[in-house]
Structure 1
Amino acid sequence: MNNNIEKYGFTNEIKSSENTEGLSWARVTSQHRDLYQIVTNQGFLQAKISGKLHHQIDNTIDYPAVGDWVLTSLEANSTGIIQKVTPRKSVLTREASGNDSNGQIIASNIDTIFICMSLNANFNPRRVERYLTMAWDSGAIPVVVLTKSDLCDDLATKLQELEDVCMGVDIVICSVETRTGLEELLTYIKPQKTVAFVGSSGVGKSSLINWLSGNSELETKQVREGDDKGRHTTTSRQLLLLPNGGIVIDTPGMRELQLFVGNLSKTFEDITELAKQCRFRDCTHQTEPGCAVKQAVNDGQLDAERLKSYLKLQREMSYSGMNSRELENEKINQMFGGKKAMKKLRQHMQQIKRR
């Protein structure tokens, strides 16, 4: 028997998790709208989902995604038919664009997530907090990868800024240009294990993957002059096999990552611990008396920007999954305490203007 899917991470544990009932195992390696590429023991095939599966799906995140293990059948024209998406051991999800409130899967069945950020003008600790919140919720282990170290002349300062942000998270400092730190990156990539690269456009994800794969399969572009912001080069998710037997998923760069779900308590463990000392159990860390979190900010023990980031992400996640009307009502509640309070405030302001 060919061992294609074993190379792509197929294990006895996965094999025993489902009764195949005459269907064949495959892994989704790329997606282009409603069409998928899958790898099977017979090699790569184009695939689409079955009509039955389509009608069973209630949520967009239940559709096949890159990294999924699926059960398939084969049409006469050698097109694969995805009959079932098997349970995911980990899943990386973001807020979907547009009016879709169900979220969007970035990748699934990942062991390690490389959160990439460049050490140029695009450096932003708040962005790392956002990615870590998403990564810790996924079920995979995050590693922060600081790229383009050859362009950085204040590395110690930047690492100091990440000290609280990256508690309990490994940091790899590297540069494709000078070939530094790349061997360390390779230590996280093991045979049959899957890693996913995430980060903003232009941070060098494709360049890193090209080095790991030993070729220039993925297109790369220079960042814009002036602001170091990147241009999109990866336009779709794809799963690749590396020479050392590891598996990598490249994802499109994100201008702005909107959270759908996340693990704030893990990302902000320092604030979580401080909150246990607040006078009120439901303290919002804003105006309540006896707030240990606000006191820590006043004492200089907690960065005010870190608390601001925590509250912003908490608020953003509370909006997740709401439709436009629900979202509007929630924002009114948070700003005014409800529609009645908002109307009273409007009436009060109108009375002041009439005076």
Structure 2
Amino acid sequence: MSVTSPSNPAPGSAPAHPLAPYGWDAAWESAFAPYAEQGLLPGRVVRVDRGLCDVITPAGTVRADTEFVVPRDPVKVVCTGDWAAVDPEGGEPRYVRALLPRRTAFFRSTSSKRSEGQILAANVDQAVIAVSQAVELDLGRIERFLALAWESGAQPLVALTKADLVEDPVTLAHLVADTEAAAPGVQVLPVSAETGEGVDVLAAALAGGTAVLLGQSGAGKSTLANALLGEEVQTVRAARDVDGKGRHTTTTRNLLRLPAGGVLIDTPGLRGVGLWDAGSGLAQAFAEIEELARNCRFHDCAHHSEPGCAVLAAIEDGSLPERRLDSYRKLARENERLAARTDARLRAELRREWKQRYALGRHMMERKGRTVRRP
């Protein structure tokens, strides 16, 4: 019996595009049209490494230099998951000439004091947040990841990894319920790469799209990636028994094809997850608080001690856990501080550019003046 698939189309039908398994569609083809006229090849970035990247194209995998698409803004650098226009065969080195506009992008703030963002993955449909059950459940960290995931434009999903380490089914059910309460509108799935529990359900949820796998070091991302891929593709190291933290097994972001269709971007473990311009993401991560706030007496209610505060009323009657409000306040303050620092950085950059232009203009005027006064 014949099987119809992107690589084996039905008789008489047009063959699928070679990049279809990687997410290529009619919209990407339309966006690429101007570059096709220039003779460039379309491709998806599957790995980036020190100014070079691997790009899967209709002609195979290309090693390309990113020199021509190095922006001043660090969140616009070439990233795993990007769709690119690449030089055709015939020249070495080959270059990425342009990136197609991103549909979604997952950012975090760096740990530096320069208030810069870092892009982790591009053009992602689902963000899988891996949370290890080998350590105590940290709902605040999950909420932080969820805010960034919602802000990216991707649909988040929480995978409670290493579920086999929780021997009591009742305890595991409570952990799932607690996570669901901290993740409204998000699927929470206990999985175990060791026993296979939940892996098939997760694979089915990710089939056909682009997913990014995120989490702390030691969360079991590489092990889970191998289970989803059906083979040992990613190197795995044991987490420390003391705190459950792992070493950075995955050191680059790699885009990998899934057997059931779609692709998976595995990322290095994240020790720090800072918010990056995540206002709308926070609103979605704490959707029930945002909904309650619409019924506050004052439209600018801070939910501290104002009369007629619907959020505080929900705390009083027990319908909203106080922990949720505390977490919301903490992340909102962090996002506001980052926005203030970012604005200050942008203002400083504009001032520097203005001074440079002023100095250049003055220099040119002086040169012109000197030229005119020459005998």
Task: Tell me how far 1:77 sits from its aligned partner.
Answer: 4.6
Task: Tell me how far 1:32 sits from its aligned partner.
Answer: 1.2
Secondary structure of 1:61's aligned partner: helix
Amino acid at match of 1:11: D
Q: Look up the match of 2:52.
A: 35
Rounded Cα–Cα distance in structure 2 between residues aligned with 1:196 and 1:155: 25
Rounded Cα–Cα distance in structure 2 between residues aligned with 1:90 and 1:308: 29
Match for 2:271 among 251, 255, 266? 255
Q: Look up the match of 1:143.
A: 157
Q: Look up the match of 1:70.
A: 84
Match for 1:98 among 94, 112, 122? 112
Distance of aligned partners of 1:5 and 1:79 in 2 relative to their CA distance in 1, 3 Å threshold: farther
Q: Is the 8 A contact 2:207 2:258 kept in 1?
A: no
1:223 matches 2:239? yes
1:163 matches 2:163? no
Task: Tell me how far 1:325 sits from its aligned partner.
Answer: 10
Rounded Cα–Cα distance in structure 2 between residues aligned with 1:323 and 1:29: 33
Q: Is the 8 A contact 1:197 1:248 kept in 2?
A: yes
Rounded Cα–Cα distance in structure 1 between residues aligned with 2:177 and 2:124: 29
* Structure 2 gap ranges (5+): 1-14, 346-375
Distance of aligned partners of 1:324 and 1:138 in 2 relative to their CA distance in 1, 3 Å threshold: closer
Q: Look up the match of 1:272.
A: 290
Q: Is the 8 A contact 2:206 2:262 kept in 1?
A: yes
Q: Is the 8 A contact 2:128 2:212 kept in 1?
A: yes
Distance of aligned partners of 1:72 and 1:307 in 2 relative to their CA distance in 1, 3 Å threshold: same
Q: Is the 8 A contact 1:36 1:46 kept in 2?
A: yes
Secondary structure of 1:142's aligned partner: strand
Rounded Cα–Cα distance in structure 2 between residues aligned with 1:28 and 1:325: 31
Q: Which has the higher helix share?
A: 2
Give deviations 1:62-100, integer Å, cap 9, x for gaps.
111110001122475543311111111111111123234
Distance of aligned partners of 1:74 and 1:50 in 2 relative to their CA distance in 1, 3 Å threshold: farther
Q: Is the 8 A contact 2:176 2:190 kept in 1?
A: no
Rounded Cα–Cα distance in structure 1 between residues aligned with 2:114 and 2:249: 25
Give deviations 1:131-160, integer Å, cap 9, x for gaps.
111111111111111111111131122123
Q: Is the 8 A contact 1:2 1:41 kept in 2?
A: no
Q: Look up the match of 1:83.
A: 97
1:312 matches 2:330? yes
Q: Is the 8 A contact 2:43 2:85 kept in 1?
A: yes
Amino acid at match of 2:295: Q
Match for 2:259 among 225, 230, 243? 243
1:284 matches 2:302? yes
Q: Is the 8 A contact 2:179 2:188 kept in 1?
A: no
Q: Look up the match of 2:220.
A: 204
Task: Tell me how far 1:8 sits from its aligned partner.
Answer: 1.5
Q: Is the 8 A contact 2:277 2:339 kept in 1?
A: no
Normalised to the residue count of structure 1, the TM-score between the two structures is 0.85
Give deviations 1:293-340, integer Å, cap 9, x for gaps.
12322332211111111011111111225549959xxxxxxxxxxxxx
Amino acid at match of 1:284: A
Task: Tell me how far 1:3 sits from its aligned partner.
Answer: 5.1
Rounded Cα–Cα distance in structure 1 between residues aligned with 2:186 and 2:80: 25
Residue range with higher mean Cα deviation, 138-147 or 155-164: 155-164
Amino acid at match of 1:91: A
Q: Is the 8 A contact 2:180 2:188 kept in 1?
A: no
Secondary structure of 2:245's aligned partner: coil
Task: Tell me how far 1:208 sits from its aligned partner.
Answer: 1.1
Q: Is the 8 A contact 2:127 2:154 kept in 1?
A: yes
Rounded Cα–Cα distance in structure 2 between residues aligned with 1:124 and 1:88: 31
Q: Percent identity?
A: 37
Amino acid at match of 1:293: V
Residue range with higher mean Cα deviation, 266-275 or 74-83: 74-83
- RMSD value, Cα: 2.1
Match for 2:131 among 93, 109, 117? 117
* Structure 1 gap ranges (5+): 328-355
Match for 2:192 among 175, 180, 185? 175
Distance of aligned partners of 1:286 and 1:33 in 2 relative to their CA distance in 1, 3 Å threshold: farther
Secondary structure of 1:82's aligned partner: strand
Pairs aligned (count):
323
Rounded Cα–Cα distance in structure 1 between residues aligned with 2:266 and 2:216: 12
Distance of aligned partners of 1:275 and 1:321 in 2 relative to their CA distance in 1, 3 Å threshold: closer
Residue range with higher mean Cα deviation, 291-300 or 168-177: 291-300
Q: Look up the match of 1:194.
A: 210
Q: Look up the match of 1:108.
A: 122
1:8 matches 2:25? no
Q: Look up the match of 1:301.
A: 319
Rounded Cα–Cα distance in structure 2 between residues aligned with 1:324 and 1:101: 6
Q: Is the 8 A contact 1:238 1:250 kept in 2?
A: yes
Rounded Cα–Cα distance in structure 2 between residues aligned with 1:142 and 1:148: 19
Larger radius of gyration: 2
Distance of aligned partners of 1:223 and 1:50 in 2 relative to their CA distance in 1, 3 Å threshold: closer
Give deviations 1:12-39, integer Å, cap 9, x for gaps.
2201123113221111111112111111
Task: Tell me how far 1:291 sits from its aligned partner.
Answer: 2.1
